[in-house]
Structure 1
Amino acid sequence: MEIDAPAGDETWIRMAKTPRSSFLDRVVQRRALARWREAARAAGSLSLAQLPLLRSDARALRREIDAVLHQVEGRMQLPRIGADSVPAPATSDWTWRPELWRGPVSPFGVAGAENRAQLGRELTLFHDCSESEITLRQIRNRHETDLAPFALRMDVFRFGGSFLSFALDLPETALRGLHLNHLVRLDLKLELERPLEIFCRLNIKHGPNNEQLVREMPLSQGDSFVEFDLAYTRMNEKRLEKAWVDIIFERPAMNQIVLRDMTFARYPRADI
């Protein structure tokens, strides 16, 4: 039995992106669903030459539907998207939660993540595995104690590389008014399947030079933090160009790491 391939059904894809609001829209949707039901029934009798096209069209439609569900289900759950409460010292003059923990990003998942794989615009994965068995996925936070709407889950299976880290670009606002008397605080809310060492490195580019401060994140489930004291750098306050943080995982094989929240705060050092 031959059927009209439902491929390239632009009307259905448009419907997946916009709310249904009219009788005509509902009719079009029912027809599109009926076509895909017929395609499922007929798939067993199609020729092998027809199957690749049908599969390609089905996968394209599934990507659109998955994207819609990711957005809709995220908005329907708590904590609400857009909530951006950042716990910080009272003297803080700058706070920030990266976009991945604030709202949906694209792509929201990567399987077999290669070196320099990205989630959203700010987060990049670095590693030197020849064959990656690393999966990244943005997931929804659902605990009553969660302040961030989203979390990052990383599953690492076999790991034959020598390093694994995230690089997170800080926004330009982090550099405005930054002085040597500032402390920069990084808070993480962690869930670990197995204990592991995590190091955090703050990088600040000023002119042709880079400053680096490295701290080990206390090994614990739940809330942990590190502080970077800029007094220990030779940072040129008048030539600040860029800042980023590296989150470095030591011996991450056979582990699931969930970063429930990540926040930053900046505040002046107390006078002694």
Structure 2
Amino acid sequence: MAGIGDGWMSRAFSALALKRWSEAARMAETADLRQLRRQRSVARRLKDRLDRLIQVADGRLALPVLGNQSFPRPHDADWAWRPELWCGPLAVAGMSSVQSQSRLGREVTLFHDCAHSEITLRQLRNTREADLAAYGLRLDVFKFDGSYLSLAIDLPEASCDGLKRKHLIRIDTIVEMEKPLEIFARLNIRHGPNTEQIVRELPLHEEEIRVEFDLAYTKLNEKRVDRMWLDLIFEGPEMNQVILRDLTFSRRPRAEM
């Protein structure tokens, strides 16, 4: 067994520690209770540190790089962003029997109207060299007795700074699914008491899954914009698994005529 440091002494200590813990585990069924209680206390402290080491090592050693905000974007984009779920590990990696309005991380919320939830959400590590995002999101739906299922992604305040009706908002994503379904993207922009909504269907049959929202067709009050979010709406999700390998946003001004 290799040691945690360099040199033969480190390897020897590591091998001895592993041997002792292996023996303690083997004898746990018959060990004296006072001794077992002490071992459990030490093992828990050790486990906390090992879990932390494994978490950090997995994040640093696997591809792609954590926190990566690099992705293709229009050359004239004045804002671009990848949500945290696709950038780095969340404190809670997943949920099962997910209830409506459950949040995964700070920016992603699941909505549905199922009487009994058979839905799971899980962050997973992307390891393909082709993936620029460090993580992806897996949505598993088994029996589905509701009428709607959607993921809401809250955009940061920077997305609203200087937002004009001349802007185009673009989203790019990589989607994998077990069987075909329809996914709609609805951009919501709140300005004062009103909310503008633009809906586009994701072109899942195309190689590049990309949609743009043209704000020129809205009644946006540019002086009162204070929040923006995206809803991904899944049609007919029952007995399906959908993986969003990446999700990115960018904003650019429309070319002047």
Same fold (TM over 0.5): yes
38-47 or 132-141: which moved more?
38-47
Q: Aligned residue for 1:200?
A: 185
CA drift of 1:241 comes to: 1.1
- Change beyond 3 A, Cα 1:177–1:130: same
Query: Any idea what the Cα deviations from partners look like across 1:18-65, whole Å, max 9, x if unmatched?
Result: x99xx9xxx9xx889957964664358999xxxxxx8xxx99997886
Q: Aligned residue for 1:256?
A: 241
Equivalenced residue count is: 245
Q: Aligned residue for 1:113?
A: 98
38-47 or 159-168: which moved more?
38-47
CA drift of 1:190 comes to: 0.8
Identical-pair percentage? 51
Please tell me whether the aligned partners of residues 148 and 260 of structure 1 are also in contact (alpha carbons under 8 angstroms).
yes
* Structure 2 stretches lacking a partner, 5+ long: 34-39
Query: Any idea what the Cα deviations from partners look like across 1:129-182, whole Å, max 9, x if unmatched?
Result: 122111111111111211111111111111111111101100000011110000
Pick aligned residue for 1:178 from 147, 158, 163:
163
Pick aligned residue for 2:114 from 115, 118, 129:
129
- Change beyond 3 A, Cα 1:258–1:92: same
CA drift of 1:83 comes to: 2.3
C-alpha RMSD of matched pairs (Å) = 3.2
Q: Does 1:271 align with 2:256?
A: yes
Please tell me whether the aligned partners of residues 166 and 247 of structure 1 are also in contact (alpha carbons under 8 angstroms).
yes
Q: Aligned residue for 1:150?
A: 135
Pick aligned residue for 1:85 from 70, 78, 91:
70
Residue 126 of structure 1 aligns to a residue whose secondary structure is strand
Q: Where do residues 39-78 of structure 1 align in structure 2 (5 Å cutoff)?
A: 41-43=27-29, 69-78=54-63
Please tell me whether the aligned partners of residues 189 and 221 of structure 1 are also in contact (alpha carbons under 8 angstroms).
no
CA drift of 1:252 comes to: 0.6
CA distance in 2, matches of 1:61, 1:161: 45
Residue 238 of structure 1 aligns to a residue whose secondary structure is helix
CA drift of 1:86 comes to: 2.0
Please tell me whether the aligned partners of residues 171 and 250 of structure 2 are also in contact (alpha carbons under 8 angstroms).
yes
Structure 1 letter corresponding to 2:215: L
* Structure 1 stretches lacking a partner, 5+ long: 1-18, 48-53
Query: Any idea what the Cα deviations from partners look like across 1:194-232, whole Å, max 9, x if unmatched?
Result: 110000011111111111111111123753011111111
Structure 2 letter corresponding to 1:78: L
